[in-house]
Amino acid sequence: MTLKAFIFQTLSTDSSCRQAVVRVLSERLIEGLSAISVETGVYCKARKRLPLEPLQQAVASSGKALHEQADPAWLWKGHSLTVTDGSTLLMPDTPENQTAFP
Residue 62 lies in a domain: no
Residue 3 domain boundaries = 1-53
User: Which class for 27: exposed (0-12), middle (13-18), buried (19 or more C-beta within 10 A)?
Assistant: middle
Asked if residues 43 and 49 have their Cβ atoms less than 8 Å apart, the reply is no
Domain count, the chain: 1
pLDDT digits (tens, 9 = 90+) for 69-98: 988 888 888 888 888 887 777 778 899 988
pLDDT digits (tens, 9 = 90+) for 21-57: 999 999 999 999 999 999 999 999 999 999 999 999 9
Q: Could you tell me if residue 85 is inside a domain?
A: no
Confidence grade of residue 58 (pLDDT, cut at 50, 70, 90)? very high
Which of 80-94 are b and which e, b meaning 16 or more Cβ less than 10 Å from the residue's Cβ?
A: eeeeeeeeeeeeeee
Give domain status of residue 4, yes or no.
yes
